[in-house]
Structure 1
Amino acid sequence: MSSFFNLENPVFQLLAKVCDMLFVSIVYITLCLPIVTIGPASTALYYAVVKVIRRERGYIFKEFFRSFKLNFKRGAIIGILLTLAYIVLGFDLLYAWGLTEPDSSKGSLLMGIFLGIAFLVVSFSIYVFPILSRFDMTVKQLFKAAVYMSMRHVHFTILMIVVNVAAVVIVIFFFPFIFIAPATVALVNSFMMERIFKKYMPKSEGPGEETGKDEWYLE
């Protein structure tokens, strides 16, 4: 019985991770409300989930806000641009949908074009913030890298889109899931995203103790 209450017990470790995911998801949702902070918040969420939940390095809030501050400017710029892109796409899709009844051929053509563009934008948005959390790039370089990776690894891109859509569907039918959904999606997607990132990571120069670098992402 004493071993059950040991903090090293796998059950307690799992509960601790679930609590971390719950708390960081709530912080993430709160920081997304001002809209302009969606980008840095998404960047920080991915970084903290992978480093703390998966790699068990550091503390969830410390790593989250460290990444949030470090990547605030670039994350905010990209987040605002993506928000505008989604708004424009939303109106475009509504316009195309409205044309399907009076002119089904024209409406269907436009709908197909806009859905294709929507796929590209969604794919880009799934990659760009994790890339920002890991690589030191300019905004222009981030755009190029996100487009390239999302198309180069399109099979993983589609799977991650499915994960995001599944989370939205679950929230619609079970709203309380929203309070842990952000971290859950980041965690599930990270198993695919990290496989992709390893292809572009520089090789480790040696153990962290020798180089003085925290190379947790290379493990």
Structure 2
Amino acid sequence: MSKIFSTEGIIYYGMERIYQILLLNVVFVISCLPLVTIGAAVASAYGTAYKMITHSEGVLYKEYLHQFKVNFVSATKMWLLIVALLVTGVWTFPYLQGYMIGNKLAYYLVMVMMAFLILMGLYLFALIARFQNTVSGTIVNAMILSLKHLPFSIIVFFVTLFGVFIVPVYLPKLLFIWLFMGFGTVIYINANIFMKIFTQYVITEEGS
């Protein structure tokens, strides 16, 4: 019984993990505030979460800053590309909508394409945080992995949907907890899933 409450016990470990997720959430939100740094913030949060999973995070906020520095260029390029594609999509949607009305084939094709892009997008910054690659290489790998590991991709999608959108919008009683732990919890859960996927493709441990 005494071991349960010791520094090596499950209660101490659980409380420490909750504190780390809370801290990860805070530094993540702060680093997202300039908006242009959102991509780097997501990649850095994943990089830090990977270290948490392997118990090699050290001082968490220092690890986060290290990850931010390492991933900033690649993640920012990817984020700006995503923003450009989103702007283009919003601009062209009224034209696509004209073709989709009354055309079930076009409608389903667009829906399938959007679903694929969303699943692929969930992998982008997680990959940047784990592997060194070009922007185009990361996109190709995200396409392949999101389809190859489709069950995991769907789980990541619903974890993200629930944690980022459903809780704050439809579960206001949990809003206070969400503000302090929402993003950190989603990233930590997803990082565990991505680690199971990426471990299969790691020959030698990355030194990032």
TM-score scaled by length of structure 2: 0.83
> Shift of the alpha carbon at 1:200?
0.8
Instruction: Work out whether 1:55 is the aligned partner of 2:54.
Output: yes
Deviates more, 1:13-22 or 1:109-118: 109-118
- Count of matched residue positions in the alignment of Structure 1 and Structure 2: 202
Query: In structure 1, what is the equivalent of residue 153 of structure 2?
Result: 157
Structure 2 matches for 1:62-211, cutoff 5 A?
A: 62-90=62-90, 92=92, 104-106=101-103, 111-167=107-163, 168-172=165-169, 173-174=171-172, 175-176=175-176, 177-202=178-203
> Shift of the alpha carbon at 1:196?
1.2
Q: Which amino acid aligns with 1:28?
A: F
Greater Rg over alpha carbons, structure: 1
> Shift of the alpha carbon at 1:185?
1.3
Q: Which amino acid aligns with 2:202?
A: M
Counterparts of 2:93 and 2:184 in 1: how far apart (Å)?
Answer: 29
Evaluate the alpha carbon distance shift between residue 192 and residue 3 of structure 1 in structure 2; reply closer, same or farther with a 3 A threshold.
Answer: closer
Query: In structure 2, what is the equivalent of residue 208 of structure 1?
Result: none
Q: Kindly indicate whether the alpha-carbon contact (under 8 Å) linking 1:131 and 1:146 is maintained by their aligned counterparts in 2.
A: yes
Q: Kindly indicate whether the alpha-carbon contact (under 8 Å) linking 1:89 and 1:118 is maintained by their aligned counterparts in 2.
A: no
Which one scores higher on RCO, CA 8 angstroms, separation ≥ 6? 2
TM-score scaled by length of structure 1: 0.79
Secondary structure in 2 matching 1:199: helix
User: Structure 1 vs Structure 2: percent identity of aligned residues?
Assistant: 22
Return 5+ residue gaps in structure 1 as ranges: 205-212
Secondary structure in 2 matching 1:89: helix
Secondary structure in 1 matching 2:200: coil
Counterparts of 2:95 and 2:183 in 1: how far apart (Å)?
Answer: 30
- Listed one character per residue, the Cα deviations across residues 41-71 of structure 1 (whole Å, up to 9, x for unaligned) are 111101111212x222122212111111011
Secondary structure in 1 matching 2:35: coil
Q: Kindly indicate whether the alpha-carbon contact (under 8 Å) linking 1:93 and 1:114 is maintained by their aligned counterparts in 2.
A: no
